[in-house]
A and B are shown apart, each in its own frame.
Chain A
Amino acid sequence: MLAMPEPDRAVLARRAEIIAALRKIAPGEGVIDGERERRAYECDALTAYRQTPMVVVLPETTAQVVEILRYCKANAIRVVPRGAGTSLSGGALPLADGVLLGMSKFNRIVEIDVADRCVVAQPGVTNLAISHAVQGHGLYYAPDPSSQIACSIGGNVAENSGGVHCLKYGLTTNNVIEVEFVTIDGEVIRLGGKHFDSGALDLLGVLVGSEGLLGVVTAVTVRVLPTPPGARALLIGFPSVRGAADCVAAVIGSGIIPGGMEIMDKLAIEAAEAFVHAGYPLGAEALLIVELDGCAAEVDHLVARVEKIAADHGAASCRASQSEQERLLFWAGRKAAFPAVGRLSPDYLCMDGTIPRKEIGAVLLRMKQLEAKYGLRVANVFHAGDGNLHPLILYDANKPGELERAERFGDDILRLCVEVGGVLTGEHGVGVEKRDLMDVMFDEIDLAQQQRLKCAFDEANLLNPGKVFPRLCRCAELGRMHVRGGALPHPDLPRF
């Protein structure tokens, strides 16, 4: 279990007074202090980590968020923002001495602007609700994390969420055009707008994906796109994962960017097939799903080209969907892969590294060796187009030591990702889960630079401390400039 910041005893001692003050800001059911009720917020989708918060506050207006944050700043109380609680990296893990700021009551779509193809939503609106709101206009919101029925757009902004379609259509950051957020000082700041770009520093670019460390989002404007007129999927079986990976590289090398491109390994194929009967090739070592979207002329043309490339790369089987129903069936297995793998094992850990695609074969081989070392099985499901791996490590939390073994296995996988030129997380975020691995990817100066950005937004380090960075930042120290009054900072260095 990772250590969280030491609870502030002085804050805990004032709990009753703090709750009373928060009640004045968010009256009625806006403040939750009962032991049992608070426990509903003790974790997000990273369920291995739990902590009951000191108090839960559910504001309804931006003005309330402003007052809550001002109060917390003035009283040095830590704040953990939470959307729908679907984070896979523990981004919304509460603190024992912290206010859990739940944004679920911000659940309205504020404006649909068809002419400018954008939607203004409150942060608690679900990802899928945005697409539903505009589908009558032939539009949709492109980023589609697999939790899109439940996850909130505010949470998507915090985590810079991806999804199956992000190789072609981008992550959250490429589709959010405006954010209103409240700083820990209680200032309301708007970044971006319905227009393109800005004439200022791209703070919107850093706010997206900042995991609740920089501010609390109170409104989000997203760009929506015309819905593609059609799509077809190909189910391609390969006798080896490497063959499937080479095929992916060849598709991209030939100039095709599919709407989605997913690989599942044998264990994942078998689990998914047993679960949904999608017609997956059971003998295959790897299954590649390629989806092509657009007008029929384009889709049919590209399906033929991908079929040819697959055949040239040793595909053992290849089926193209002949109807919308069949396309959805092809996807049903992939979309159910996590719960299907869940039936193989009482528990699993979902990893999220990204690697250069050319390394897929080598990384999977090393993963096999690690399976033997840790005595645990791995099912692999990944967004092959962008090299984003989701190894699912199967374990049983009821067996002593197995969770810890699974976590060490996961750490080794992520170290391996960085070693081959990749990164710790492609779309799930660092949160608490990968926090202590940040040193694997970044040196002290890199992390200090990121923390100085944190200091510019939240000098007292009250917003979501204990996430992302392996060590709490001390802004006064980070801000100190050792160059003063003409004294050379490094007198040993050669001068010009």
Chain B
Amino acid sequence: MTLHRPHDAREIAEIVRHAGAENHTLEIVAGGSKRAFGRPVRAAQQLNLSKLAGLVSYEPRELVLTARPGAPLADIDEALRAEGQMLAFEPPQWLNLLGGAGTPTLGGVLACNLSGPRRLRAGAARDFILGFSAVNGRGEMFKAGGKVVKNVTGFDLSKLMVGSFGALAILTEVTLKVAPRPETQCTLLLPGLSDAKAFDVMARALNTPHEISAAAHLPELSARRAHLAAEGPLTALRLEGPAPSVAYRAAETEKLFGGGVRLEAEASALFWREVAEVRALLPDGAPLVWRACPTPSRAAAIVAAVREKLPGAEAFYEWGGGLVWLSLDPAEAGPDCGAAVVRGALDGQGHATLVVAPETARASVEVFQPVEPALAALEARVKAGFDPLGLFNPGRMREGV
């Protein structure tokens, strides 16, 4: 397979124009760490963005960072850390989850719209993109958005790029809004709560003004696997901010929900990294993993409905129930990897993505939540508006996109 490693937008535009003329498709890759996420792409050639790396500009006092999509996430993180800042959406790497290969990059995180525990309060990756430059499927270089934190000039194409899995355009430069890193953090661990009780606690805690920045519930089996090796279920609430504020809010939260174990600063950060990276909390080598986003208050009922049909299912919860990680037993789940059961339980209120499954299964099962016909037709027209010949990542999301 031909492999392109362009250095800049101009070279990408030429490759795309050539691909259009020759009628061959392109798989768009940067660090390659998310290749196992989504439907497998069968493309004639690969276009690798690793050489479009590095920061273009970073102005901490403007809260604005511009970088190229091949920039390793670790490099971005290091630059931000040096200025006491961060990406507020706390992007996970999912290296172990997806098999361990490759290097997580900024472009990959944006293409997949990956957000970590703070998504609950701060928003998703899509909420932090301010603008971009890209090459469309016609081989034209274009830009949208801007490089300032507040802008409504023209359609917000930036959000459309995030979570499009490279199906619309090839990013060549992105500008993000960054945030100050909180002075400190602490996590309250409430042990021994049943699933039902834990959901009640998380919902009530999130409705207090104590600015809970992450909320997870690990049922017993997940909690045992965590590096903390708890003996029973753990419900975790994170508080971040200036030290006097965190101390006060932690004490107030404990008054409401009972004192548990407190994880301070680094221990708290370590706990949430483990939650964000998922793999360690799932059964060893779990071959089928779903990521479901239900209406948060329905999360426990949905998992109960899945378990009724697939008793081997195991779950843990993030985002106060807004994110459910489900591990299924392949023998129980059958050839559709449990899609009908999981999506049936969601009943149209939310979406579920098959994150871990053998490649053959990801080729035949709808990895992403199917959409209504009118929306599917609209998506296809939007795709054609960017990539009329269907050159980029064909079928990665679904047929037609």
Q: Is the CB of A201 within 8 A of B379?
A: yes
Q: Is the CB of A160 within 8 A of B319?
A: no
Docked Cα-Cα span, A198 to B291, in Å, equals 11
Stretch among B218-226, B276-284, B346-354 lining the A interface = B346-354
Q: Any chain B CB within 8 A of the CB of A464?
A: no
Q: Any chain A CB within 8 A of the CB of B96?
A: no
Which residue of chain A has its CB nearest to the CB of B23? Answer: A486
Q: Is the CB of B61 within 8 A of A479?
A: no
Stretch among A57-65, A124-132, A249-257, A328-336 lining the B interface = A249-257
Docked Cα-Cα span, A229 to B252, in Å, equals 13
Among A160, A453, A486, A489, contact of B157 (Cβ-Cβ < 8 Å) = A453
Q: Is the CB of B378 within 8 A of A183?
A: yes
Q: Is the CB of A358 within 8 A of B155?
A: no
Q: Any chain B CB within 8 A of the CB of A494?
A: yes
Which residue of chain B has its CB nearest to the CB of A428? Answer: B152
Give the interface size class of chain A.
Answer: 35 or more
Task: Determine how close the nearest CB of chain B comes to the CB of A371; give it in whole angstroms.
Answer: 24
Docked Cα-Cα span, A334 to B144, in Å, equals 33
Stretch among A11-19, A45-53, A395-403, A416-424 lining the B interface = A416-424
Q: Is the CB of B18 within 8 A of A495?
A: yes
Interface bits B73-97 vs A (CB < 8 Å: 1, else 0): 0000000000010000000000000
Majority DSSP secondary structure for residues of B touching A: mixed
Residues of B within 8 A of A449 (CB): 136, 140, 142, 144, 157, 385-386
Task: Determine how close the nearest CB of chain B comes to the CB of A290; give it in whole angstroms.
Answer: 15
Q: Is the CB of A206 within 8 A of B322?
A: no
Which residue of chain A has its CB nearest to the CB of B164? Answer: A201
Task: Determine how close the nearest CB of chain A comes to the CB of B236; give it in whole angstroms.
Answer: 18
Which B residues from 361 to 401 make CB contacts under 8 A with A?
Answer: 368-369, 371-372, 374-375, 378-379, 381-386, 388-389, 397, 401
Q: Any chain A CB within 8 A of the CB of B123?
A: yes
Docked Cα-Cα span, A250 to B143, in Å, equals 31
Q: Any chain B CB within 8 A of the CB of A302?
A: yes
Task: Determine how close the nearest CB of chain B comes to the CB of A490; give it in whole angstroms.
Answer: 6
Q: Is the CB of A193 within 8 A of B349?
A: yes
Interface bits B122-138 vs A (CB < 8 Å: 1, else 0): 01101100000000101
Q: Any chain B CB within 8 A of the CB of A362?
A: no
Q: Any chain A CB within 8 A of the CB of B334?
A: no
Given contacts A115-B296, A456-B384, A457-B378, contact A199 B352 (CB under 8 A): yes
Which residue of chain B has its CB nearest to the CB of A159? Answer: B152
Q: Any chain B CB within 8 A of the CB of A376?
A: no
Q: How many residues belonging to B are interface residues under a CB distance threshold of 8 Å? A: 102
Residues of A within 8 A of B180 (CB): 252, 255-257
Q: Is the CB of A297 within 8 A of B244?
A: yes
Docked Cα-Cα span, A253 to B148, in Å, equals 16
Task: Determine how close the nearest CB of chain B comes to the CB of A385; give it in whole angstroms.
Answer: 8
Q: Any chain B CB within 8 A of the CB of A468?
A: yes
Q: Any chain B CB within 8 A of the CB of A139?
A: yes
Q: Is the CB of B248 within 8 A of A210?
A: no
Docked Cα-Cα span, A139 to B206, in Å, equals 11
Q: Is the CB of B382 within 8 A of A203?
A: yes
Given contacts A160-B156, A449-B142, contact A298 B147 (CB under 8 A): no
Q: Is the CB of A189 within 8 A of B374?
A: yes
Given contacts A425-B151, A445-B140, contact A173 B159 (CB under 8 A): yes
Given contacts A202-B126, A203-B160, A487-B21, contact A456 B208 (CB under 8 A): no
Q: Is the CB of B160 within 8 A of A198?
A: no
Docked Cα-Cα span, A331 to B128, in Å, equals 29
Among B146, B203, B379, contact of A115 (Cβ-Cβ < 8 Å) = B203
Given contacts A167-B149, A183-B378, contact A452 B385 (CB under 8 A): yes
Q: Is the CB of A195 within 8 A of B350?
A: yes
Q: Is the CB of A450 within 8 A of B155?
A: yes
Given contacts A139-B207, A197-B124, contact A210 B151 (CB under 8 A): no
Which B residues from 1 to 53 make CB contacts under 8 A with A?
Answer: 4, 14-15, 17-18, 20-23
Q: Any chain A CB within 8 A of the CB of B285?
A: no
Among B60, B119, B160, B179, contact of A205 (Cβ-Cβ < 8 Å) = B160
Docked Cα-Cα span, A455 to B382, in Å, equals 8
Q: Any chain A CB within 8 A of the CB of B254?
A: no
Q: Is the CB of A452 within 8 A of B386?
A: yes
Majority DSSP secondary structure for residues of A touching B: loop
Given contacts A255-B183, A453-B155, contact A301 B242 (CB under 8 A): yes
Docked Cα-Cα span, A256 to B245, in Å, equals 13
Q: Is the CB of A226 within 8 A of B207?
A: yes
Docked Cα-Cα span, A482 to B149, in Å, equals 37
Among A200, A257, A452, A481, contact of B369 (Cβ-Cβ < 8 Å) = A200
Residues of B within 8 A of A171 (CB): 150, 152
Interface bits B239-266 vs A (CB < 8 Å: 1, else 0): 0011011011100100000000000000
Q: Is the CB of B152 within 8 A of A294?
A: no
Q: Is the CB of A206 within 8 A of B160?
A: yes
Residues of B within 8 A of A226 (CB): 206-211
Which residue of chain A has its CB nearest to the CB of B209? Answer: A226
Docked Cα-Cα span, A203 to B61, in Å, equals 31
Residues of A within 8 A of B209 (CB): 138, 226-229, 294-295
Residues of B within 8 A of A468 (CB): 154-155
Which A residues from 195 to 241 make CB contacts under 8 A with B?
Answer: 195-206, 208-210, 226-229
Measuring CB to CB, which residues of chain B are less than 8 angstroms from any residue of chain A?
A: 4, 14-15, 17-18, 20-23, 59-64, 84, 113, 115, 119-120, 123-124, 126-127, 136, 138-144, 146-160, 162-164, 167-168, 179-181, 183, 203, 206-211, 241-242, 244-245, 247-249, 252, 293-297, 319, 322-323, 349-353, 368-369, 371-372, 374-375, 378-379, 381-386, 388-389, 397, 401
Measuring CB to CB, which residues of chain A are less than 8 angstroms from any residue of chain B?
A: 113-117, 137-139, 159-160, 162, 166-167, 170-171, 173-174, 183, 187-191, 193-206, 208-210, 226-229, 249-250, 252-253, 255-257, 294-298, 301-302, 354-358, 383, 386-388, 421-430, 434, 438, 441-443, 445-450, 452-457, 468, 479, 481-483, 486-490, 493-496
Q: List 9 A-B contacts (CB under 8 A).
A: A190-B372, A202-B159, A206-B155, A255-B180, A387-B62, A423-B148, A442-B144, A457-B378, A481-B20
